[in-house]
Amino acid sequence: MHMTESPRPSGAYTTDQDPTPYPYPYDTAYSTAYDGAAGGYPPPPPYAPDPSSYASEPPAPGHRDRRAKRPVALLAAVALAAAVIGGGTATLVGQLSDGGASATGSTGTVQGTTVSQSSKGTVSGVAEAVSPAIVEIGAASSAGKSTGSGVVITEDGEIVTNNHVISGAQQIEVTLSTGKTYTADVVGTDPDKDLALIKLRGASGLKTAALGDSSQVKVGDQVVAIGSPEGLTGTVTSGIISALDRDVTVAKDDSGSSGENQGGGGQQWPFEFGGQQFNGDTGEKTTTYKALQTDASLNPGNSGGALINMDGEIIGINSAMYAPSSSAAGSGSTAGSVGLGFAIPVNTLKADLDTLRAGDGS
């Protein structure tokens, strides 16, 4: 061992042969156990003091080394750091959980924002979450202009609506909930199911709707309908599911009279139910599908819009509604909803998406 010359006189430091207890502070329990032992030696300290830490002299007897408190301070610092990191981890997990709602699903649709936990089960919560994904569709044809609604299902502008809303259209204009407008092209149609898929030109980063599971819907479930009745974009109504599997018959594809509010005449899309015709003649080309029945108020322009459960998931595409004739209503205009509305189950849409995207149903 390398030794340095000490300026202090001999005997100023204790030696290994000195039976006097070492003055370095140690635990009282160890002191009691070893002070009476032969030679009076205490156990070696957990680490030796660093002589360089003292300016000129070693600590005086009874003086507690300030460095001995560092492990406690270190533990406190580690605990504090762990708490901070733990909080950051919780925040990150929350962000990932919220962001998971926007992940692209296996079907290619983007799962939209669902109702926040604090607003779950409320109409206002559903409206706030889903309204940005519901659009107004204006379809112009040689017979006039029809107005309907649609549901955004991808961030780049794929929109689902009813076939009868855009059938025969020569130009399609879509208005978002923000008021921004786009021109749209027809991707594919399926007249047998009264479904159509259109795509906005140059759109990106759009709010999208989450598609639910209509097989889980029960009579009495609360629902919310969002659409553009009479051109009133973003109108919200609510009600319940009144019945399941209603056989509803609509006109299949008649470009001469299709659409809603065509030419400003307030005409509604006609349909058949129970062997009777409502809202006009459906014509010769018809198709029948199983529909969800709801008492949520639907009016001309709601077709193609969303029927939504209280978790903010789309469970149906609104497609038909009953209104009494103008003569029965006693006025010169078509009466509004009387609580008989029908929607195409969302599972029918999900099963048809690949066909619509391929344009095979056109």
Q: Are 216 and 277 in contact (CB under 8 A)?
A: no
> Which residues, at least 6 apart from 101, have a Cβ–Cβ distance to it below 8 Å?
111, 112, 113, 114, 210
Concerning whether 2 is annotated as a catalytic residue, the answer is: no
Q: Are 160 and 314 in contact (CB under 8 A)?
A: no
Q: Catalytic residue, from 149, 214, 303, 337: name it.
A: 303
Concerning whether 295 is annotated as a catalytic residue, the answer is: no
Give the count of alpha carbons within 13 A of 302, CB side only: 29
- Taking CA atoms, 151 is separated from 148, 163, 256, 281, in Å, by 11, 13, 25, 27
**3 state DSSP class of 114:** coil
Q: Catalytic residue, from 131, 141, 164, 214: name it.
A: 164
Concerning whether 194 is annotated as a catalytic residue, the answer is: yes
Q: Catalytic residue, from 146, 190, 194, 297: name it.
A: 194
In 3D space, the residue among 342, 313, 338, 327 whose CA is nearest the CA of residue 101 turns out to be 313
Tell me the C-alpha distance between 8 and 107, whole Å.
86
Q: Tokens representing 315?
A: 């469970």
Tell me the C-alpha distance between 79 and 87, whole Å.
12
> Which residues, at least 6 apart from 217, have a Cβ–Cβ distance to it below 8 Å?
241, 244, 292, 309, 315, 345
Question: What residues act catalytically?
Answer: 164, 194, 303
